[in-house]
Amino acid sequence: MRPNLRWQLLLATIGFGLVLAILSFQVQSVALCTVTVPTTGGSFIEGVVGAPNTLNPLFSDAYPVDRELVDLIFDGLTRFDASGELIPVLAERWTVSEDGRSVRFILREGITWHDGQPVTANDIAFTYGLMQDATFPGAAALQTLWQTVTINVIDARTVDFVLTSPYAPFLEVTTRGILPAHILQGETAVSLLTHPFNQSPIGTGPFMVDAGQDWRQTGRLVLNPNPDFFQQGTQLAHLEYRFFPDETSLMDAFANGDVQAINHISADTLPEVAAEPHARLFTATEDRVTMLLFNQRQDGENKLQPASMRQALAFGLDRQAVLDQVLNGQGVLLEGPYLPNSWMYQKTAYTPYSNQPDQAILWLEENGWLVPEGQVMRWREGDPLSIRLAALQQDEGLVTAVVDQWATLGIDVQVNLQSNLTELQQTLTAGEFDAAIVDVVPALDPDLYDFWSQEAIVRGQNYGGWNNRRASEALEAARQLWRLEERRPFYESFLRFYDAELPALTLYQHVNTYALSSEVNLAEIGRIERPRDRYQTFAQWFLLYKDVTVRCPAENAGIDS
One domain, residues 502 and 427: yes
For residue 11, the model assigns a pLDDT of 46
Same domain, 395 and 435: yes
pTM above 0.85, yes or no: no
Domain count, the chain: 3
Whether the pLDDT of residue 523 is over 70: the answer is: yes
Sign of the Cα pseudo-torsion (246, 251, 252, 257, in order): positive
- Cα–Cα distances in angstroms (integers) from residue 20 to residues 270, 362, 550, in the given order: 68, 100, 24
Tell me whether residue 405 is in a domain: yes
Judge whether residue 370 has pLDDT over 90.
Answer: yes
| Predicted confidence band of residue 544 (pLDDT cuts 50, 70, 90) | confident
User: What is the pLDDT confidence band of residue 27, given thresholds at 50, 70 and 90?
Assistant: very low
Per residue in 277-287, pLDDT tens? Answer: 999 998 888 88
Segment 249-275 mean pLDDT: 93
- The CATH number assigned to the domain holding 116 equals 3.90.76.10
282 assigned to some structural domain: no
Residues 105 and 209 in one domain: no
In percent, how much of the chain has pLDDT > 70? 92
pLDDT digit string, tens, across residues 132-163: 999 999 888 889 899 999 999 999 999 999 99
| 3-state SS track over 104-155 | EEEECCCCECCCCCECCHHHHHHHHHHCCCCCCCCCHHHHHHHCCCEEEEEE
Q: Tell me the C-alpha distance between 369 and 425, whole Å.
A: 30
Tens-digit pLDDT profile for residues 43-85: 899 999 999 999 999 999 888 899 999 999 999 999 988 778 8
The rounded distance, in Å, linking the Cα atoms of 422 and 432 is: 14
Between 64 and 559, the higher pLDDT residue: 64
Instruction: Identify the domain boundary among 178, 196, 214.
Output: 196
CATH number at residue 418: 3.10.105.10
Greater pLDDT, 553 or 113: 113
Q: With cut-offs at 50, 70 and 90, classify the pLDDT of residue 549.
A: confident
Give residue 173's Cα distance to chain centre: 16
Is 274 part of a structural domain of the chain? no
- Starting at the earlier edge strand, list the strands of the sheet with 150-155: 91-96, 102-107, 158-162, 150-155
Q: Is 479 helix (H, G, I), strand (E, B) or coil?
A: coil
pLDDT (mean) for 185-210 = 94
CATH number at residue 226: 3.40.190.10
Cα-trace Rg, the chain: 32
pLDDT given for residue 9 in this prediction: 44
Residues spanned by the domain of 92: 75-196
Residue 404 and residue 413 in contact, taking contact as beta carbons nearer than 8 Å: no
Q: Is 12 or 244 the better-scoring residue by pLDDT? A: 244
What are the backbone dihedrals phi and psi of residue 169, each rounded to the nearest 5 degrees, phi first?
Answer: -65, -10
Q: How would residue 19 be classed by pLDDT, with cut points 50, 70 and 90?
A: very low
pLDDT in tens, 414-429: 999 999 989 999 999 9
